[in-house]
Amino acid sequence: SQTIHQWPATLVQPVGSPLSLECTVEGTSNPNLYWYRQAAGRGLQLLFYSVGIGQISSEVPQNLSASRPQDRQFILSSKKLLLSDSGFYLCAWSGTHGETQYFGPGTRLLVL
């Protein structure tokens, strides 16, 4: 069966520091991968999606970037965090047709 992992689970970072959140998927090949941000427990905003290694599409302009160095690895990064980057970050995967997405456990980021 497929599983999706995210780490760290929680992160507290100062403003201006770099960020790296990691997501990995097991039990499937060539998944579509997604990064979402959720603010205040409501509403999921799609940040990035990827249909293959090195292929990243950005949905909203922002202070973050994403990379996919391996088939089942998706990384969310920032060079300098802003206060507004605080939130709950969720990674998800789907099959190549994208009908159904499955979410990871999430990373809670607090920027101080």
Partner 1 sequence: GQQLNQSPQSMFIQEGEDVSMNCTSSSIFNTWLWYKQDPGEGPVLLIALYKAGELTSNGRLTAQFGITRKDSFLNISASIPSDVGIYFCAGLVAGGTSYGKLTFGQGTILTVHP
- Please, which residue, 2 or 80, has the CB nearer to partner 1? 2
Min CB(55)–partner 1 separation in Å: 9
Residue keyed to tokens 């809670």: 108
- Please, which residue, 18 or 52, has the CB nearer to partner 1? 52
Min CB(32)–partner 1 separation in Å: 5
Residue keyed to tokens 């996919």: 68
Residues binding partner 1 (CB under 8 A): 6, 32, 41-44, 46, 49, 51, 57, 59, 90, 92, 94, 96-106, 108
- Please, which residue, 57 or 70, has the CB nearer to partner 1? 57
- Please, which residue, 18 or 45, has the CB nearer to partner 1? 45
Whether the CA torsion 75, 78, 83, 85 is positive or negative: it is negative
Whether the CA torsion 26, 30, 32, 35 is positive or negative: it is positive
Min CB(26)–partner 1 separation in Å: 15
Min CB(80)–partner 1 separation in Å: 27
Of 72, 77, 82, residue with least CA distance to 107 = 77
